[in-house]
Amino acid sequence: MKLVRFGTAGAEKPGMIDADGNIRDLSAHISDIAGKDIDPARLAELAQVDPASLPLVEGNPRLGPCVGGTGKFICIGLNYSDHAAETGAQVPEEPIIFMKATSAICGPNDPIIIPRGSEKTDWEVELAIIIGKHAKYVSEADALDYVAGYAVTNDVSERAFQIERSGQWTKGKSCDNFGQIGPWLVTKDEIADPQNLGMWLTVNGEKMQDGTSSTMVFGVVQLVSYLSQFMSLHPGDVISTGTPPGVGLGMKPPRFLKAGDVVELGIEGLGQQRQDVVADK
């Protein structure tokens, strides 16, 4: 299944994508794509719903983040060996964990907003894991039992805030509209191998990132298990798993976003995003 949330920000409705790529209104079956309704058992029930039996959503509505009620937006740093190499960093022995404020979350096609004082706003296409049920101290063998599905994320980053302004990475990762998620939550049964997905990103039509999740240092099952040793994971939590090479920071000379740019990105089987880059007022 491909599940979607559509409508104005803060008032999104749940939907399902049909065989023709149309949005069907799922409101009669669930109140939101969040919480108990993304438990794997509940998703199995929803899979029995024929999309063609649902009301067709007309027009081209705004898409919201594909999961609601996110309590934690957890990110993994330097989790692609080739990305670590381009930034001159060593591959970590254990996952590097940082948090992105949930206020950064927005829809997949909502704009990237360059914050005031920004010098180095950057892009990062990433595979997101969407947690479907409470996970604590889970083994790698059982880790996928706690996954609802996957989505595309753009882990937008302000490198000067992140790296040059001291402290932790969070302030360079958490500006408004620095966390596009979607277009869809794709349930895990549709993705045969999350460690073998093509990933790409362009700026103004120029290919910047062209990688694969196969070069992740710590894979999906490792990350879910690892994180659950330190904190409970709850339905709707998002784990953004790192980016392949091709970020602006790694270019020689470095290249960063400016107002007027257009960013497009996608992951095989998970859809794609498009964002206009605008300056904050």
The structural domain count of the chain equals 1
Asked, for residue 217, whether it belongs to a domain, the answer is yes
Kindly report the pTM of this predicted structure: 0.95
DSSP string computed for 80-123: BHHHHHHHTPPPPSS-EEEE--GGGEE-TTSPEEEPTT-S-EE-
What range defines the domain where residue 205 resides?
A: 65-279
Taking only the tens place, the pLDDT of each residue in 197-209 is: 999 999 999 999 9
Asked, for residue 78, whether it belongs to a domain, the answer is yes
Which residues does residue 263 pair with via DSSP β-bridges, in sequence order?
A: 203, 275
Work out the mean pLDDT of the chain and round it to a whole number: 95
Asked, for residue 102, whether it belongs to a domain, the answer is yes
**Longest distance between any two alpha carbons in the chain, whole Å:** 54
Asked, for residue 16, whether it belongs to a domain, the answer is no
Asked, for residue 47, whether it belongs to a domain, the answer is no
Q: What is the CATH number of the domain that holds 244?
A: 3.90.850.10
Decide if pLDDT at 165 tops 90.
no
Taking only the tens place, the pLDDT of each residue in 38-85 is: 999 999 999 999 999 999 999 999 999 999 999 999 999 989 887 777
Taking only the tens place, the pLDDT of each residue in 178-202 is: 999 999 999 999 999 999 999 999 9
The answer to whether 175 touches 95, Cβ cutoff 8 Å, is: no
Asked, for residue 189, whether it belongs to a domain, the answer is yes
